[in-house]
Amino acid sequence: MYNSQIVLLYFAEINKLGAETIDKYFKFLDFFEIKGHNNVNTLESCDSMDKKTELFRSLKFLLFSASAGIIELATFALLNETLGWPYWPCYLIALILSVLWNFTLNRRYTFRSANNVPVAMAKVFLFYLIFTPSSTLFGNWLAEGLGWNEYLVTGINMALNFVLEFLYDRFFVFRDSLDTNSIAKKKQARDQK
């Protein structure tokens, strides 16, 4: 199965509403045998607490991404409405601001990583080295070439960014340093008492 199919399946599964959504999320991860690190050897061997931790991690990522989305949309709207620029510079500036915000919050609070900031940022930069030109060209083609609404196109790019970046951050950027910062260590110390 191709990575794009996995991402689309992930997106479809995680966005379904209903009581079984949480179980489907972990069954989906188990199906592809996605390996965890540090406290979790594999998701198949997770106890319910580890699954709750991963679900909570996903929800925190969602909330921080939503706050980054607000920054991105506000910046995009400000540039688009006041300056009348074409789609791509408005989107690019808005994306950069939201990435910096999202990386800072998710590194510290979602993944609770103590790894080297420049190394982690370099890995995220690699993601955006591919995602940014792809989404900018795709968005510009939809908005300028096909006449789609700029805000709809930005929303589509934001949804793609959310799903792809979570998977990339969780299983590549922070996989070896999950729950290693001072916040995580304090929580682990409290839990052991």
Summarize pLDDT for 147-187 with one digit per residue, the tens: 999 989 988 998 998 999 999 999 999 998 989 988 888 88
What is the pLDDT, as a whole number, of residue 49? 57
Residue 35, classed as helix, strand or coil, is: strand
- On whether residue 19 sits in a domain, the answer given is no
- Give the Cα separation of 107 and 117 in Å (integer): 9
- On whether residue 18 sits in a domain, the answer given is no
Average pLDDT on 62-70 reads 93
- Give the Cα separation of 92 and 24 in Å (integer): 35
- Give the Cα separation of 45 and 8 in Å (integer): 25
Query: Amino acid identity, residue 192?
Result: Q
CA 176 to chain centre: 17
Report in angstroms the alpha-carbon separations of 98 from 5, 10, 30: 26, 23, 31
Mean pLDDT highest for which of 14-18, 28-32, 112-116? 112-116
pTM of the model: 0.68
Average pLDDT on 74-78 reads 94
- Give the Cα separation of 93 and 91 in Å (integer): 6
The encoded tokens of residue 182 equal 């001072």
- On whether residue 50 sits in a domain, the answer given is no
Domain span holding position 90: 57-192
What is the pLDDT, as a whole number, of residue 39? 42
Q: Is the pLDDT of residue 70 over 70?
A: yes
- Give the Cα separation of 107 and 23 in Å (integer): 26
Structurally, the chain folds into a number of domains equal to 1
- How do residues 90-129 score in pLDDT, each as one tens digit? 999 998 999 999 999 999 999 999 888 899 999 999 999 9
